Amino acid sequence: MKITLRILFPLMVGLIVAIIMNITVGWWGFWVIFPWIGFSISTGTLLRKILKGHKKLIGRKIAILMILPCLLLFVPIVNHENFQLGGVVLIVLVGFFGKGFIHYAIAKIFGPLIWGRGFCGWACWTGAILDWLPITGKKKAIPEKAKNLRYISLAISLFIPLYLVFVMNYDVYQDYLYKKEIIWMFAGNALYYAIGIPLAFIYKDKRAFCKLACPVGLIMKVPASVSIIKIKPKQNDCIECGACNKICPMDIDVMSYIKNKKPITNTECILCSSCRIVCPVNAI
């Protein structure tokens, strides 16, 4: 089997980013994080190439699971930092631009200008657990209006740090940085899982949390609206079988884009490529 450039590309990007980060910021951990993320995505891409039919779908699920310990455990434990949105707002408010800020800048603000919401599809530690939940059967439709709940959770994530700093005079340097950060990181994530897992079972929809409650996805939707990488139609014509709509974890009407020969501009797209894998005529 040939290892193509397409398979190696994520690993190469990971190595390049590690080099850039070490030159500009300088921390040994970057040599672990970015090459590991790249290696994991390359592994997922390789599995997609090797496996046949719908089994290809497992490639991304393995990649996202491989990345989970790197972002959820390695950085917080080694560097005692909180990558949750509230924690990042807290440090930015006092002008401290640590690894949490770098993570947000790369994965959730500037990176999505290139790869859209690829973080959600391939690297999110919450998504990694949700994607492996043993849920089968028909999804319950999530009302469009209910998706606005995400704005409330975004407001809460912004309000709590603002309140702590400006009303409670919380001393971020003294009481939070590298001390209580780790507790906030795990408490915040425990809350995400505690909400996300029941929601997935209630709606029979693994990504219900992403659609209803996650504030981070909302932030990424802004740069993702102009992202360079998009799912696009190929020359082959769509036969309107509907398989892409059925598999899409984010409920996007993929078929209408592809049959009209348009790229998927919906900012809910997490670039999982599941639609591409299941298309019987290679139209995506």
Binding stretches for ligand SF4 (CB under 6 A) = 120, 124, 126-127, 209-210, 214, 216-217, 231, 238-244, 247-250, 252, 254-255, 258, 264, 269-275, 278-281, 283-284
Q: Which is nearer to ligand SF4, 180 or 230 (CB)?
A: 230
**Buried/exposed 208-225: b ≥16 CB within 10 Å, e otherwise:** bbbbbbbbbbbbbbebbe
CA 55 to chain centre: 22
CB of 167 to ligand SF4, least distance (A): 28
Q: Which is nearer to ligand SF4, 124 or 172 (CB)?
A: 124
Give the position of tokens 């290696």.
Answer: 39
CB of 196 to ligand SF4, least distance (A): 7
Segment (H or E) for 244: helix 243-247
Q: Which is nearer to ligand SF4, 94 or 158 (CB)?
A: 158
Of the candidates 236, 237, 254, which has an alpha carbon nearest to the alpha carbon of residue 245? 254
Q: Which is nearer to ligand SF4, 76 or 127 (CB)?
A: 127
Structure-token pair, residue 224: 């993702």
CB of 72 to ligand SF4, least distance (A): 11
Taking the C-alpha atoms of residue 92 and residue 86, their distance in angstroms, rounded to an integer, is 10
Phi, psi (deg, nearest 5) at residue 240: 55, 45
Contacts of 73 (CB under 8 A, 6+ apart): none
Q: Which is nearer to ligand SF4, 179 or 232 (CB)?
A: 232
Segment (H or E) for 279: none
**Buried/exposed 82-91: b ≥16 CB within 10 Å, e otherwise:** bbbbbbbbbb
Q: Which is nearer to ligand SF4, 57 or 172 (CB)?
A: 57
CB of 274 to ligand SF4, least distance (A): 4
CB of 16 to ligand SF4, least distance (A): 24
Q: Which is nearer to ligand SF4, 91 or 270 (CB)?
A: 270
CB of 154 to ligand SF4, least distance (A): 11
| In the complex, residue closest to ligand SF4 by CB | 217
CB of 279 to ligand SF4, least distance (A): 3
Specify the amino acid at residue 45. T
Segment (H or E) for 141: none
